[in-house]
């Protein structure tokens, strides 16, 4: 940092993984994530998942022998304008903080620069304080369990709730022990007020993370993107009666006036439209049709046939039989549009 050499996302994920290996028990800063800098988000997603799960991607040499595995052994901190889209599991494995723009506190910033040489001494004293504790591992695990129960309460049935609660509990645990050390060192800080403020931050962050994870679920991305495409007339739904109707590449499905509870979608056409629209926005949507159908069923949007593995049904219009997804119309806010 002092020499101005900070690792950035312009490096390949493999090189970041290798460099992070040497930051054991340290903060590993990776600067400035931008989707425009990444040709393929796949390796980035893989890197973030393996980092969060604390393992590396195994590789073989030309002689079919296992290579030494390098993985980030520190705490990775990254800045960026965006996050990898369409991957709820990556979001859930992270703590994503939105930093609002405000007037820089130049006085405190300069004080930090002048005193940063003393920070290692504080860290060393904190480590010594921890090493002098009796039954430290048992006490840490007990506090972690308490923190996890605190943050999982009320969100048990939410997507990726366990991962989110675990990350928040680890952060809560770290702050709890740092403030315990500061109290023992007689630091002039209101420890109780600091802990209460920190807990409020984490609870607000929990709500934000759950909302972000929900937005990144494939079912939510699919419905949201398809609704926008229909409302902006990128594609269309046909309103049909008993007679047949003409299809083209822009028709993603149809409605029946006799039953307004459901919309019938052509799986491949609808998926292709969504993938193209998401790609047009500079993001990726790599879910297969089968994975999307399972996500739609899990979200209660798609109503498949009973007793059959296939998620689609067969619907006859005139003399033609179509294989379609039957989805609940109430989940598609299509508004007023030309049919």
**Structure confidence by residue, pLDDT tens digits, 271-305:** 999 999 888 876 778 788 998 998 899 888 999 88
Domain boundary among 160, 184, 216: 216
Same domain for 175 and 117: yes
Mean pLDDT is lowest, of 50-64, 65-79, 108-122, 220-234, for: 50-64
- Would the pLDDT of 93 be above 70? yes
Structural domain contains residue 210: yes
Q: Mark whether 155 and 223 lie in a shared domain.
A: no
Q: What is the DSSP string of 234-276?
A: SSEEEE--SS-----TTEEEEEETTEEEEEEE-HHHHHHHHHH
Do residues 284 and 233 share a domain? yes
Identify whether 339 is part of a domain. no
Residue 116 and residue 164 in one domain: yes
Q: Do residues 55 and 144 share a domain? A: no
Pair 194, 179: CB distance under 8 Å:
yes
Interacting residues of 180 by C-beta distance below 8 A, sequence separation 6+ = none
| Residue 338 lies inside a defined structural domain of this protein | no
**More confident position, 27 or 283:** 27
The residue segments making up the domain with residue 68 are 1-85
Residue 310 vs residues 289, 292, 333: alpha-carbon distances, Å: 12, 13, 26
Residue 74 shares a structural domain with residue 117: no
Same domain, 209 and 114: yes
- Is 206 among the domain residues? yes
Instruction: Point out the domain boundary residue: 172, 200, 216.
Output: 216
Residues 267 and 279 placed together within one structural domain of the fold? yes
Cβ-Cβ contacts under 8 Å for 122 (sequence gap 6 or more): none
Concatenate the DSSP letters of all residues of 34-100 into one string: -GGG-S-HHHHHHHHHHHHTT-----B-TTS-BPPP----SEEEEEES---TT-HHHHHTS------
SS3 for 171? helix
Same domain, 256 and 274: yes
Residues 39 and 117 in one domain: no
**pLDDT per residue over 164-214, tens digit each?**
999 999 999 999 999 999 999 999 999 999 999 999 999 999 998 888 887
Contact in structure between 166 and 149 (CB atoms under 8 Å): no
Same domain, residue pair 43 and 126? no
Average pLDDT over residues 63-83: 82
The answer to the question of residue 95 being in a domain is no
Confidence of residue 61 (pLDDT cuts 50, 70, 90): low
In this structure, are 222 and 192 located in the same domain? no
Mean pLDDT of 332-336: 73
Q: Which of 171, 190, 216 is the last residue of a domain?
A: 216
262 pLDDT above the threshold of 60: yes
Contact in structure between 16 and 44 (CB atoms under 8 Å): no
Is there a domain that residue 78 lies in?
yes
Structural domains counted in the chain: 3
Is residue 98 in a domain?
Answer: no
Q: Per-residue pLDDT for 10 more than 50?
A: yes
pTM for this predicted structure: 0.70
Please give the structure tokens belonging to residue 319. Answer: 């003399």
Q: Do the domain assignments include residue 228? A: yes
């Amino acid at each position: 940092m002092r020499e101005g050499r900070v690792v950035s996302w312009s490096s390949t994920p493999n090189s970041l993984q290798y460099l992070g290996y040497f930051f054991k028990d340290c903060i590993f800063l990776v600067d400035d994530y931008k989707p425009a800098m990444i040709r393929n988000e796949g390796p980035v997603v893989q890197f973030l998942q393996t980092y969060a799960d604390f393992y590396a991607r195994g590789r073989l040499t030309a002689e079919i022998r296992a290579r030494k595995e390098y993985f980030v052994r520190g705490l990775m901190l990254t800045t960026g304008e965006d996050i990898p889209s369409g991957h709820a599991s990556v979001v859930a494995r992270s703590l994503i903080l939105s930093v609002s723009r405000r007037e820089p506190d130049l006085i405190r910033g300069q004080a930090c620069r002048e005193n940063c040489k003393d920070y290692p001494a504080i860290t060393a004293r904190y480590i010594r304080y921890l090493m002098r504790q009796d039954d430290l591992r048992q006490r840490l695990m007990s506090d972690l369990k308490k923190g996890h129960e605190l943050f999982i309460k009320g969100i048990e049935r939410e997507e990726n709730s366990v991962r989110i609660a675990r990350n928040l509990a680890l952060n809560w645990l770290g702050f709890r022990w740092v403030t315990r050390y500061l109290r023992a060192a007689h630091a002039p800080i209101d420890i109780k007020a600091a802990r209460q403020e920190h807990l409020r931050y984490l609870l607000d962050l929990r709500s934000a993370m759950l909302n972000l994870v929900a937005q990144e679920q494939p079912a939510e991305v699919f419905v949201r993107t398809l609704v926008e495409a229909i409302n902006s007339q990128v594609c269309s739904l046909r309103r049909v009666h008993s007679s047949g109707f003409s299809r083209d590449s822009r028709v993603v499905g149809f409605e029946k006036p006799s039953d307004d509870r459901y919309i019938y979608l052509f799986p491949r056409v609808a998926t292709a439209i969504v993938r193209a629209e998401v790609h047009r926005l500079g993001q990726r949507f790599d879910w297969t049709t089968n994975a999307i159908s399972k996500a739609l069923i899990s979200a209660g949007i798609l109503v498949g046939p009973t007793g059959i593995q296939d998620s689609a049904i067969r619907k006859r219009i005139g003399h033609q039989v179509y294989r379609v997804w039957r989805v609940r119309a109430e989940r598609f806010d299509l508004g007023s549009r030309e049919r």
